[in-house]
Structures are given as C-alpha cells and as structure tokens.
Structure 1
Amino acid sequence: MASSLLTSCCFSLPVLSFSSSSSRLSPPKSLLSLRTRSPNTLLSSSKSLSLLEPLTLPKTITSPSHSPSRFSVFAAKGYKMKTHKASAKRFRVTGKGKIVRRRAGKQHLLAKKNTKRKLRLSKMIGVDRSDYDNVIGALPYLKVNRKAT
C-alpha cells in the first residue's frame, strides 16, 4: 500500500523546467513520455533518477566599461571586530568626538608632588593626532570625529 501511495504522489506533482529558448514554463518532454509507463517501471528503472533537467538560470551581463572601484573592507559580513578592553578603559570620547585620556604621573609618590601639580595631572588631555590610528584600531566601534582638532 505504501508503494501505491508513493507512485500516486510522484504522478500528482507537476515538474516544470526553464527553457532558455522560450519565456513560458513547460514540462520536460521526458516527463510527458513517463505518463504512459507503468508505475513499477518508473521506480525500478535506473533512468528515473536522471529524468529531471537541471535548472538553468539567466546569466548576469557585466558591462566592460565599468572598472571595479577601489574600496577598503574593514570587516567581512558576519564578523564582529573585537574591542581591546584595556584600551576601552583608558580612552573616552568627548561630545565633539575627540579622544581623551588621563595624564600620567598621578598613581603613586604623591607626597612629594605639590597640590598645583596634582591638580594639573588630574585633568583629561586629548590624544595626539599621530596616535589616533592606534586608538581607533584598538577600539573599532568608537564614535570618533576624525576632523575634530
């Protein structure tokens, strides 16, 4: 009984193929000749596997006048660039898009430094323009205004 259900399913599904010569869809000629055969010869035949014609898709036409444009790809699709977490703790971005950092020298040995010097070391300072590429490379998702001076 299962084989009769299988053969009835095979004959009830229409199979269509694309032909490059005509724009409308039509069943392949080999399928038309199968309808006259018995279901047992269809399933036992080794030719039944190669009856379906391959689907041919229209080729895309590229014009030779367009030369490939040069552009740089920073990350491929689906790949997330990783943030350097130590750099993320050391650098911030101001409202205007400048990168700022802390000054060095205010971690230890503060007893011998006068108050004026310690106040000056407490303030944030902008990162030098020559170091911007290094900071942006470590922090790829940082919202930086490169034109800010």
Structure 2
Amino acid sequence: MNQAARRIGRTLALVLPVVLVLSGTLAVTRVPWAAPNAESQVLTASSDNASTVATARAPHEVLRDRLLSELQEKNPGVALTHLQEATNGRPSLAQHCADIARALGRAAVAKYHSVTRAQAYSRPVCDTAFATGVAQGH
C-alpha cells in the first residue's frame, strides 16, 4: 500500500502542475476581452498593432557593437584580432572593415585618454584604419 501511494503521489506531482498551467493558459485565451456578449474571442498578437517593430540589424553593425564591447572589457588588440578573423571568415564584412577599425581606434582613445597608449595596440588590420581612428579620437 505504501508503494502504491508513493507512486500515485509522484504521478500527481508531475502531472498536476502541467494540467494547471495548460488549463490556466487556455482559460486566459478564451476570455471575451472586447465585447461582453461575444461567444468566444481568442487573444492573439498582431504585428499590425505593435507599437515597435523589430528590425534586423546588419551583420557588420552587430560585429562592430560586439567588438566595441570587447574593447571595453579587454583591450583593443583582442578586438582587432577578432575583427581580422571575422573578415577572413566572412568576406562580405571586408567592405566594412575600415569603418569598424576606425570606430575601434576612436573607442581606444576614449578608453585610455591617451593617443600613445591607444596607438600601442595598432595592427595592420584593414590597412591603417585603426591608426586613423586613433588620430580622429584625439
């Protein structure tokens, strides 16, 4: 008897929360929200009524933001290495490489408040774009 009661208790402990969640979810979606006399209305989400529309960001923008965060967390050398790896691995990013490297140069000057210290991380990634960004950041 003791084992049978334990088995029933375990089964209820697993099944009961699922049943409660599902029944609660279904009950909320069947509430007549707009008109009290309506037989049944289903609550649905619509992108037509959304206040903000999510837009997909371009891969080079995502990369730039990730590298700028990495520069702040680590150092410009790590970010430049990852920029080089990203452009080698995905050639479509190469056309944006100089812009990203310049942004990294400006961010390095802002982080260290020193052109000399920022310039110490300079590498030949995207020609001299990082050095140009350092000069612009000054």
TM-score (norm 2): 0.25
Higher relative contact order (CA 8 A, sep 6+): 1
Pick the structure with more helix per residue: 2
Larger radius of gyration: 1
Pick the structure with more strand per residue: 1
